[in-house]
Amino acid sequence: ATAVAAPLPVLGRDVTVPLVTGGEVTYAALDYAASAPALQRVWDDVAAYAPYYGSVHRGAGYLSQLSTDLFENARETVAGFLGCRDDDQVVFTRSTTDSLNLLAAALPAGSRVFVFETEHHASLLPWREADVTYLDAPRTPAQAVETLERALAAREPYGPALVCVTGASNVTGELWPVRELAAAAHAHGARIVLDAAQLAPHHPVSVTDLDVDWVAFSGHKLYAPFGSGVLAGRADWLREAEPYLAGGGASRRVSRRADGGVDVEWHDSAARHEAGSPNVIGAYAVASACKALTEAGFDTLVAREEHLIRTVREGLADVPEVRILSLFGDDAPRVGVLSFVVDGWNSSHFAAALSAEYGIGVRDGLFCAHPLLRTLLGSDPQAQGECGAPEAAPGEKSLNAVRVSFGAGTPDEHVERFVNAVR
């Protein structure tokens, strides 16, 4: 076995859960792709700051000043973590979903959008009011680039155009050729936004190195608590757009007009899209997570995760009933996210059994990526809820899948327990 570093301490690592067979066991959180446990370090940083927090950008008191500094420093930390260019903006949002909806609201009039049908619904759906071209699922990374190039060329000439692509799939964990897709977009005069919800917790993401125009991610998948997200990138479209939310903090000057109406001058900075009292603790927690991951080093984190991925792949290689889902082929590079179906099992029952009998928390369903699941499973999922987990009739093709996912806080024992349970 390859020597790998110890996992990073996370919250919940000592939580025990009851088993249906009697007794209890420490919970194996293997659903990092949905929400990762917060790093202990992030929790400690937040706890140390909590007694001192105050309103930001709107208080004269010492703690308000301190909080304003910490909030703005958090923005700088995130900008550094994402390798932002000097004139990029970092907007604090609620989540990746919120970030992409903000960018959709900021699209210049008449924009064209290009998006693969394989995206998470958060990347697939916000653009519906623009002129969207949905691209068929590619079966290799090179085909993804060709498909995009062909679609961009076929629709020329156009004015403002945006490509939206995920860095790592929330279903297969596979890495997408972001740099090549960005080059293709730019060669045709389009811009590109990277959905890094699944990529940023596992790999370094630099907007400069990847040459993407924007990047979006969620704090709760990056080892910070819920409620905070980021949209970072080019300032121009953001600065020219109407504010995402209208309200205090976004407005620089508000006055009554002679005709009785109201004139507003909006801020040009990130504050333009952050109206209302911001989630200061959330931003601080995200910045703390960025620092912790940087200090741990992505080389170390990636090596450890590859060891865990190998444990799953090798452990299940001789179980013929298990089919791991992939678009790009079995050996495609991926992050620690794997979805699979098990012959003879309904995926929902399988996931429930992992929980009840082994204390393992995975996810089953369609992972908010219905078109992708339809392609991967070769069946029509007919989802019953937005991210639903429909029942398959006995003997029918799987209508959904099981997903196991892990990261910086995962001990070997969790993944070994999972492999043994599946076997």
Q: Considering the complex, what minimum distance in angstroms separates the CB of residue 371 from ligand PMP?
A: 14
Q: Considering the complex, what minimum distance in angstroms separates the CB of residue 8 from ligand PMP?
A: 21
387 classed as catalytic: no
Q: Considering the complex, what minimum distance in angstroms separates the CB of residue 315 from ligand PMP?
A: 25
The span from the first CA to the last CA of the chain, in angstroms, equals 20
Q: Choosing from 84, 164, 290, 368, which is the catalytic residue?
A: 368
Nearest CB to ligand PMP, comparing residues 89 and 95? 95
Q: CB burial class (10 A; 0-12, 13-18, 19+) of residue 257?
A: exposed
Nearest CB to ligand PMP, comparing residues 222 and 358? 222
Nearest CB to ligand PMP, comparing residues 231 and 422? 231
10 Å Cβ neighbour count for 289?
30
Please give the residue ranges that form the binding site for ligand PMP (CB under 6 A): 95-97, 120, 122-123, 166, 170, 195, 197-198, 218, 368
DSSP reduced 3-state for 328 = coil
Q: Considering the complex, what minimum distance in angstroms separates the CB of residue 17 from ligand PMP?
A: 23
| C-alpha dihedral (209, 212, 218, 224), degrees to nearest 10 | 20
Q: CB burial class (10 A; 0-12, 13-18, 19+) of residue 157?
A: exposed
Using alpha carbons only, what angle is made at residue 175 by residues 170 and 177, rounded to the nearest 5 degrees? 130
10 Å Cβ neighbour count for 411?
16
Contact 58, 278 (CB under 8 A): no
Q: Considering the complex, what minimum distance in angstroms separates the CB of residue 96 from ligand PMP?
A: 4
* Six-digit token string for 423: 């076997």
Nearest CB to ligand PMP, comparing residues 286 and 415? 286
Nearest CB to ligand PMP, comparing residues 44 and 386? 386
Q: Give catalytic residues, as residue numbers.
A: 368
